[in-house]
Amino acid sequence: MDYPSNFIKTIIEEDIKNKKYETIVTRFPPEPNGFLHIGHARAIITNFELAKSFGGYTYLRYDDTNPSKEDEIYVKAIEQDIRWLGYEPKSIFYASNYFQIMFEKAILLIEKGLAYADFSTQEEISRSRGDLHLKGIASKYRSSLSIKENLEIFNKMKDGLYNEGEVVLRAKIDLESNNINMRDPVIYRIVKAIHHNTKDKWIIYPMYDFAHPLEDAIEGITHSLCSLEFEDHRPLYDWVVQNCEMKNEPRQIEFGRLTLENTVMSKRHLRTLVESKKVSGWDDPRMPTIAGLRRRGYTKEAIKEFVFSCGLSKVNGTISVEMLESAIRNDLSIKARRVNGIINPLKITITNYPDDQKEEFLVPYHPDDEALGSRIITFSKNLFIERNDFSEVIPDPKFKRLSLGLEVRLMHAYFIKAEKIIKDIKGNILEVLCTYDVETKSGSGFSKRKPNGTINFLSIDDAINLRTNIYSKLVTGEIKENVLDAFNENSLQIKYGYCEKSLLNFKSEDKFQFIRNGYYVIDSTSTKDLVTVNEIVQLKSSIK
């Protein structure tokens, strides 16, 4: 798949045409404070594909400037996700590797009179910066401290002589700016926590808006691509690069966020679901994380097709989940093997079939691709069919399944006719007694009668125990403050049935189609005694 044209690609083409850059260098800069989700997948694909389109390359850089929320487990998960999507970073960097340089650049700003220490509380600073209607008000520390005093205080901050929240370092820019981000933002604060990379070397940490432009400039990034909410931060980004006297001046370009309809797209909310144990972990198949989608059975090709089909916009947009589901259907319809699985089993007994007889049929895994191979299925006296493939009373003229007096074809086997129903004392159907016609064997060319449809089946003698995990949306309704209030307690349904024994040869993450049902994947918890599968998507679009 070639990366489609978009407004950023056009900008880069113009930059190359004007010889502004020789080599295009982009970066994917995640914060290692959670697992990546489908929105991050779009950012990954955009950065890597754009650079590749122009013969350039992409770095992976961890923006690890907040040790209180970061962990090595997230670092490893992010790398795994990127490589699974099919990308290899040119190099892997950490913001924390530049802390010494950032400290020196902060010193430079103080020496230039462009940064000062502020002992005001967080609430006081926030209030003094004003809002869209009120201009900012200068802190008493803005002009009362000399450059020498600011340098001394900043060094004492570094040496641990102040408590968290006691003092911060602010940039001195413009308190009357129409852009609130330029009203003396905090650029350094004290955090007494162990950092996953630098351990206890630092107790002062740069704020994102200060660190990020420096990282881009240090690495020689040509095009710093970010989501739309950073558009108002761009003047601050440029101010930092210029006033810190960085050799390279990256170009920040913003694009709209991708939001999936009825999907939790906030790492904060996703973390709450994990920590409250409402889900089994970050890779729970209900989660919109890349790890969750992978365990759910989504392929990297389907995710790329989805991202490409959504395009790249200058505005935020909400996309229907149906588009993502359509992408995985398109991919799996070509590559997924077809097998028999009975999720809601109903017993069928062929009364005129010998008790001790069994027949074997060599059946292809895919009707249109011989390369996917074949397997053997069996036919015997006792069978399972899907419960919804039988109806005691025909519901409508379009019903093309089994009912009393009607004849259907069992796929790859024979015609059978329902003759009698066996029920329990509550009236529930336990078993359907049928007869078969030996002359109707599949492949025999029989054409004297037309069956009332074709259904799949399993021989009870060879059926393997099956657990099917069926998923629906994680939340119902609008998420206000607490995602747990909107959590869908029925987002996971477990059904026990049977599958053909060929699935015992499938490996974890192998995808397949249960014939006439949907697409599934072998879960990592699957065993020989209980094959466990996750529903990827139904065969036809269905909103749950």
Positions marked catalytic: 31, 257, 267
Residue partners of 40: CB distance under 8 A and separation at least 6? 30, 81, 290
Q: For the stretch 142-169, what's the b/e string if a residue is b when 16 or more beta carbons lie within 10 angstroms of its beta carbon?
A: beebeeeebbebbeebbeeebeeeebbb
In angstroms, rounded to a whole number, what is the distance separating the alpha carbons of residues 170 and 186?
4
**Quick one: which of 479, 74, 476 has its CA closest to 265?**
479
In 341-448, alpha helices (H):
none
By DSSP bridging, strand 402-403 and strand 390-391 are parallel
Q: Which tokens hold the place of 206? A: 């740069």
Using the 8-state DSSP alphabet, how is residue 348 labeled? Answer: E
C-alpha distances out from residue 227 to 257, 317, 413, Å: 6, 12, 56
Asked if residue 448 lies in contact with residue 402, where contact means CB atoms within 8 angstroms, the answer is no
Residue with tokens 């209180």: 68
Asked if residue 91 lies in contact with residue 58, where contact means CB atoms within 8 angstroms, the answer is no
**Quick one: which of 202, 187, 199 has its CA closest to 236?**
187
> SS3 helix, strand, coil % of the chain, rounded to 5?
30, 25, 40
Q: What is the 3-state secondary structure (H, E, C) of 162-220?
A: CCCCCCEEEECCCCCCCCHHHCCCEEEEECCCCECCCECCCCEEECHHHHHHHHHHHHC
539 phi and psi angles, rounded to 5 deg: -65, -35
**Quick one: which of 172, 460, 465, 260 has its CA closest to 343?**
465
Coil, strand or helix at 258: strand
375 phi and psi angles, rounded to 5 deg: -145, 170
